[in-house]
A and B are shown apart, each in its own frame.
Chain A
Amino acid sequence: MAQETLRPTTILDELKKNGVTHIVWLPDSETNFMFQAMTSQRDIHLVSVCREGEALAIAAGLWMGGKTPVVMIQNTGLFESGDSVRGLGLDVGLPVVMFIGYRGWTRHGVTPDSAARFLEPILHTWGISYYLLESDADVPRISEALAEAGRAQKPVAVLVGKEYG
């Protein structure tokens, strides 16, 4: 059962191991479990935004300034961020990992929530690779995603599939 747990400290340790400096974040129910851990540590700076479209643009500025940010938003927020993803993610070739709360994700059943149904087709359309994160066993995928973003010089997504973990 231990492998089914997704612990915030495991995620943060993986980010620190990769030299991540900032998390640009708007709360959602899938990454809510990260809040306490993120705010009680000082190694990675937390930048809270008012709307998700700001997040990728702030990340682009941080990257221009030599930092290594990640973005943490919900799939609904990714939809809102479309022009930022296009103009500052894909056109610029921004090597950033976006943690996306996979609202509506059901591994074994139908997915009535359009927020979940549209997510992967949109990522495919944009040519953005993605990795699924549901338990501690998946955490090494974060390193893979960061490595791919650096290699490909473009955004890569990590889909957080565990609501209120």
Chain B
Amino acid sequence: MMKMRDAMRVVDQYRGGAFVIAAHAARGGWADVSHNKELDLSMAGAMGKSSSLALGVALAKPGRKVILFNGDGALLMNLGTLVTEAQQAPPNLCHIVLENGLYATTGGQPIPGKDRVDFAGMARSAGYRRVFRFDDLEEFASKASEIFTQPGLTFLCLRVEPEIETRPINQRPNRPKPPFQTYRALKERL
């Protein structure tokens, strides 16, 4: 199992000009690691729907790589997204699931199917052709070039250590900025 920020540093090395969405429990980690915050969206609302948002951007901007950090609990809230993504198959979309087996932002309760659900297997069954899963940081880092430089709709499951948040929502760092202005500013940059 990896530390979330260590895995994110590997992704950051290869992101280039990618638009990156960090959803829910990934937000704080990615804010610490990213070197191109002008092209980052920290997403907190509409839980489970970050993958659908990422798909829309990828379809609209085929010339720009789109990377999503999703949570395993968030993916379970919108599993049909895997089928929708595979059906549309934008080659510029990389859907990363940070598998920690729990709802990190609500106090660390286990997700349904913890340690039984095979997210990579579900992605394959949904129609994804490029599917990767890593427990080990060194192994992930050694394959990262292949994963991020070759085109094609990609699903990447990374087993990470939980970072459980127990502070009340309004006392947490990295609170998302007002969405009305944030989304418009990013729209201009894309």
A residues near B (Cβ < 8 Å) are: 22, 24, 45, 47-51, 53-55, 57-67, 69, 83-84, 86-88, 91-93, 153
Contacts and interface: CB of A to CB of B under 8 A. Distances in A.
A149 to B, nearest CB: 15
Contacts of A88: 45-46, 49, 53
A64 B52 contact: no
Contacts of A91: 45, 179-180
Interface residues of B, number: 30
Given A53-B49, A66-B187, A58 B56 contact: yes
A67 B78 CA distance: 24
Given A57-B53, A58-B53, A58-B55, A63 B45 contact: no
A48 B59 contact: no
B179 A64 contact: no
B57 interface: yes
A87 B49 contact: yes
Interface string B166-190: 0000000000000110011011001
Interface of B is mostly: helix
Contact of A62 (B49, B60, B186): B60
Contacts, number: 110
Contacts of B179: 87, 91-93
Given A54-B81, A64-B183, A92-B180, A87 B45 contact: yes
Contact of B78 (A53, A66, A69, A87): A53
Contacts of A22: 59
A26 to B, nearest CB: 10
Contact of B59 (A57, A65, A93): A65
B36 interface: no
B33 interface: no
Contacts of B55: 58, 61
A22 B52 CA distance: 14
A50 B57 contact: no
